[in-house]
Chain A
Amino acid sequence: MKLIFEKSVQGRRGFRFPDSDVPVKAKVPQKYARGNDAPLPEVSELDVVRHYTLLSQKNFSVDTHFYPLGSCTMKYNPKFTEALSRLSGFADLHPLLPQLAGGEMLTQGALEVLYELEQWMCEMTGFSHFTLQPLAGAHGELTGIMLMAAYHKAKGNQKKKYVIIPDSAHGTNPASAAIAGYETISIPSNKDGGMDIAKLKSAVNDEVAGLMMTCPSTYGLFESNIDEIAKIIHSVDGIMYYDGANLNALLGRCRPGDLGFDVMHINTHKTFTTPHGGGGPGAGPVGVNDKLAKFLPISRVIKRKDGTFALDYDYPDSIGYIAAFYGNFALLLRAYAYLLMLGKEGLKATADHAVLNANYIMRRLQPYYKLCFDKLCMHEAVFSASIQASRGVHAIDIAKFLIDRGIHPPTVYFPISVPEAVMIEPTETESKQTMDAFIDEMIAADALSKLDPGAFKDLPKTMPISRPDEVKAARDVKTSYAF
């Protein structure tokens, strides 16, 4: 399909501004003025609408396709939360308004949303305080590690320089720790997919600042040795960091704050159905226990005795500002509305059915694909396509087969510790019929891998494009239209 720039016709326009009604025609002094016009497209409104509507139709999305992407929790995004996020009383609210004299009283509704959401998150996760400011999960991780660093600094723990991270972790974990100034130590998992306690013990010393863990892990398994892990880390005054990527599996069944964790982040686009948006925006609220509370970023939302809400900046030990304002408000608002609707029982049912669906798929596919850990899984199941790979059909080929059949593939090649990994997470919102159709296609892929492994190389055939040449993209780099 043509680029919007290739549809441009000189002199055409898509929008009309009102004529100026002020008796001033100003001119930017030549020295400060732009030489040439910015070559933006010259198209009509219909051109724009048709172009982007047609582009949208080249996407898979939750609204159109099943997305069993492990660890991404691609659940349905309820429409009423979208509608609420567009209410003028929120969408048109200037973020600096509460910082003006008397301005807090003009933003009471928004502050109440933030305050209440923090309370919900505390109760759901077992932490005493939350900040909603981090703008995405990885931003939450960075914030959490900075809180860890502030804690050690305040305690005079000058030797701290390592953060321990299991090899099954998301890449953001080591990257966040590194950017906050720590070196990372990777611990391989044991044969049951859990933390290797002996290896952990041998890695832990006074220089360990903390540990980052996803629980359930990216293998979809609950860490049964969590008490011991927390004890080992706390014995050197380390901080236990909980990566909330897989929180969906635990709602109402277990709270990270009760397990010995000191800090966590939540990905609202996973557990709380804020839309993925084709890769953001996200939101990554961070919860802490009392140990870390005084270091939380400013501002913080407080409730006054008279029931009104205010922003408070008076926290001398705070790490400071991690973002300009109060978080990605419009997403937090969607999460808030979702929580209000679900309530206690609805949240618990979320985890129940997410885990049921994952176990159902796991057992149905087990005869065909190598299951990494033959035991109950939580919200996701990790397979290896090693059997199919021995026939010349790799995880990526199975992914392309599924795309050809109108199903978004599971996460492949992650966790990186599993060769030919295929990581499946159906979520609670998918029906048995949808899952069965997926299972049928997975079985068909296995059958085809025996029958005609060469057939995969041309897939997908039903999509607007076939497999792209990624090497060319990285070699002859072209990242914008040649104006």
Chain B
Amino acid sequence: MNPYITNTDAEVRQMLDIAGVPSIDGLFADIKPKHRPKSFDLPEGLSEYEVVRKVTGLSLKNNVHLVPFLGGGFYDHYIPSAVGMLTSRGEFYTAYTPYQPECAQGTLQSLFEYQSSMCALTGMDVSNASLYDGGTALYEAMMMAMGVTGRSKIIMDGGVSPIYRKILKTYTHHLHYQFEETPVVHGQSSRPEIEKLLDRNTAAVILQNPNFFGAIDDLTDIIEKAHSVGALAIVSVYPVSLGLLKTPGAMGADIVTGEGQSLGLPLNFGGPYLGFMTVRGKYMRKMPGRIVGETVDTQGRRCFVNTLQAREQHIRREKATSNICTNVSLCALQAAIFMSMIGRQGLKEMAQLNLDKAEYAKQEIAKIKGVEVKRSSPTFNEFTICLPKDASDVVGAMIKKGFAAGFPLGRYYKGMEKYLLVAVTEKRTKAEIDAYVKALEETL
């Protein structure tokens, strides 16, 4: 029951003879009887058709038909067909890590192109070849900042995703780092709160733009303040917004990270996603993860290799900048193809559509009696509204009407039980937004 084994009985016999063992069991002679499995009670195998039928059945138990206004850092964007077609080429997805550059130029050049596009997007000098996801990328950025500065205090702005915040706390709580968080505000980062905490022991200030509540900001002044005490500035960004928004590079950020799911990756119930990281040139040698660099071959032809490997665990072991081995090459390829497909104009248009549709939704939602749209700061494609009742209950009722109405903030923030985070991407039509507003009004 393993269709992927090709040895015939006759071949097994021949090979056993050469191996000098009488039987397959004999190959496992080093495993003593007392080390045999105490149990191995697994089901019998199935045919491909039976598995397909079972798994397809499971897929149908999931509801993917709600009209989504749900974001929280993970968005329902359109993915051009060519993106999936190209990344599902076996030459890409069944290749190994490109340790042998002569037979891996496809992977290496496409990662170099990915790095180039990420630098273009974020306005930074150097990109690595990807990290696991946005949350772990932010963790890596934090560790990197502590490595660069030799300091151990981290200030995290209240607008950073609460999911990321929980991840960073998990990784640091047993280590001797000082982790400070500024209070949560719906709008832009609170300057005085950050300044109060900034000192000569601060390794980095962690910021997010747009922040978790959708507010957009120019973080230049905060970044300057951080630099004035020798701290780094880490900015987590939503890449699609960079079609319109000021880049973290232009704001002076030192390390930029983010979740690249919006660049052509399906939602996939949480993964695989794409963690990206771009940095200032001077910090390149402290960056975690793989980096692809350009060079020439013995005949002077341009080619690409993994470079600066002296940072990495397979060379440096316990002294490496990170324990990361795998990046997410295939996801980076997917993003590279996506960015090439939509191109310079398309990225702007996509961002503009997101902005326009979200602004329209805001305008219409504001007309509902008893609903307040938070307008303390401008937003991109996600915004906060305050409802006259518990947002979680409202979302539950909206599901029955066919909408994933948004993310109830009470789940992560005490006292925000009536607040709802609403995302509107370029895929939402005017008709869907109007229907959503109508359903919301009826629900309240």
Please state if B296 and A469 are interface contacts (CB–CB under 8 Å): yes
> Which 4 pairs across A and B sit closest by C-beta, in order of nearness?
A343-B45, A325-B270, A89-B59, A63-B90
- Taken together as a complex, chains A and B put the C-alpha atoms of A107 and B246 apart, in Å, by 37
Interface residues in B19-60 (C-beta closer than 8 Å to A): 19-21, 24, 27-32, 35-48, 50-52, 54-60
Interface residue from B11, B97, B242 paired with A34 (Cβ < 8 Å): B242
- Give the chain A neighbours of B121 by CB distance below 8 A: 38, 40
* Interface band, chain B: 35 or more
CB distance from A155 to the nearest CB of B (A): 13
Q: Total A-B pairs in contact (CB under 8 Å)?
A: 693
- Give the chain B neighbours of A15 by CB distance below 8 A: 80, 341-343, 346
- Taken together as a complex, chains A and B put the C-alpha atoms of A97 and B339 apart, in Å, by 27
CB distance from B239 to the nearest CB of A (A): 10
- Give the chain B neighbours of A408 by CB distance below 8 A: 96, 100, 103
Complex interface bits, A1-44 against B, C-beta within 8 A gives 1, otherwise 0 = 10111000000111101101111111011011111011111110
A331 CB-CB contact with B under 8 Å:
yes
> Interface segment, B190-198, B199-207, B222-230, B324-332?
B324-332
B303 CB-CB contact with A under 8 Å:
yes
Interface residue from B55, B105, B250, B352 paired with A58 (Cβ < 8 Å): B105
- Give the chain A neighbours of B171 by CB distance below 8 A: 146, 322
- Give the chain B neighbours of A279 by CB distance below 8 A: 96-98, 107, 129, 290, 326-329
A263 CB-CB contact with B under 8 Å:
no
- Give the chain A neighbours of B269 by CB distance below 8 A: 90, 93-95, 107, 110, 325-326, 329-330
- Give the chain A neighbours of B254 by CB distance below 8 A: none
A324 CB-CB contact with B under 8 Å:
yes
B167 CB-CB contact with A under 8 Å:
yes
Interface residue from A350, A352, A473 paired with B293 (Cβ < 8 Å): A473
Please state if A77 and B246 are interface contacts (CB–CB under 8 Å): no
Please state if A138 and B117 are interface contacts (CB–CB under 8 Å): no
Please state if A349 and B102 are interface contacts (CB–CB under 8 Å): no
- Taken together as a complex, chains A and B put the C-alpha atoms of A131 and B214 apart, in Å, by 32
> Interface segment, A219-227, A232-240, A447-455?
A219-227
Interface residues in A377-424 (C-beta closer than 8 Å to B): 378, 399-400, 403, 408-409, 414
B345 CB-CB contact with A under 8 Å:
yes
Interface residues in A254-312 (C-beta closer than 8 Å to B): 254-255, 258-259, 273, 275-283, 297
- Taken together as a complex, chains A and B put the C-alpha atoms of A201 and B88 apart, in Å, by 50
Please state if B325 and A137 are interface contacts (CB–CB under 8 Å): yes
Nearest chain B residue, comparing its CB with the CB of A457: B298
Please state if B5 and A278 are interface contacts (CB–CB under 8 Å): no
Complex interface bits, A336-373 against B, C-beta within 8 A gives 1, otherwise 0 = 11011111111111101101110110111000000000
- Taken together as a complex, chains A and B put the C-alpha atoms of A37 and B328 apart, in Å, by 27
* Interface band, chain A: 35 or more
A190 CB-CB contact with B under 8 Å:
no
Interface residues in B348-377 (C-beta closer than 8 Å to A): 348-350, 352-353, 355-357, 359-360, 363
- Give the chain A neighbours of B167 by CB distance below 8 A: 320-324
- Give the chain B neighbours of A18 by CB distance below 8 A: 353, 426
B322 CB-CB contact with A under 8 Å:
yes
B333 CB-CB contact with A under 8 Å:
yes
Q: Which of A112, A178, A283 has the most CB of B within 10 A?
A: A178
B82 CB-CB contact with A under 8 Å:
yes
CB distance from B18 to the nearest CB of A (A): 5
Interface residue from B97, B100, B395 paired with A100 (Cβ < 8 Å): B395
CB distance from B55 to the nearest CB of A (A): 5
CB distance from A84 to the nearest CB of B (A): 5
Please state if B31 and A254 are interface contacts (CB–CB under 8 Å): yes
Given that A33-B246, A430-B6, A467-B102 are known contacts, is A320 also in contact with B91, CB under 8 Å in the complex?
Answer: no
- Give the chain B neighbours of A123 by CB distance below 8 A: 39-42
Please state if A324 and B164 are interface contacts (CB–CB under 8 Å): yes
Please state if A33 and B244 are interface contacts (CB–CB under 8 Å): yes
Please state if B28 and A28 are interface contacts (CB–CB under 8 Å): no
B101 CB-CB contact with A under 8 Å:
yes
- Give the chain B neighbours of A224 by CB distance below 8 A: 30, 32
Complex interface bits, B370-399 against A, C-beta within 8 A gives 1, otherwise 0 = 000000001010000000000011011001
B320 CB-CB contact with A under 8 Å:
yes
B344 CB-CB contact with A under 8 Å:
yes
A202 CB-CB contact with B under 8 Å:
no
A102 CB-CB contact with B under 8 Å:
yes
Please state if A281 and B326 are interface contacts (CB–CB under 8 Å): yes
Please state if B112 and A40 are interface contacts (CB–CB under 8 Å): no
Given that A38-B243, A259-B35 are known contacts, is A59 also in contact with B106, CB under 8 Å in the complex?
Answer: yes
Interface residues in A53-86 (C-beta closer than 8 Å to B): 53, 55-65, 67, 69, 72, 74-78, 80, 82-84, 86
Please state if B62 and A14 are interface contacts (CB–CB under 8 Å): no
B169 CB-CB contact with A under 8 Å:
yes
CB-defined A-B contacts under 8 Å, sample of 29: A4-B336, A34-B250, A38-B120, A40-B340, A75-B4, A84-B52, A87-B59, A92-B266, A96-B407, A103-B399, A108-B61, A171-B317, A174-B313, A174-B318, A254-B28, A276-B96, A278-B95, A323-B133, A324-B164, A331-B271, A340-B45, A341-B48, A363-B18, A429-B4, A464-B105, A469-B296, A474-B308, A480-B112, A480-B127
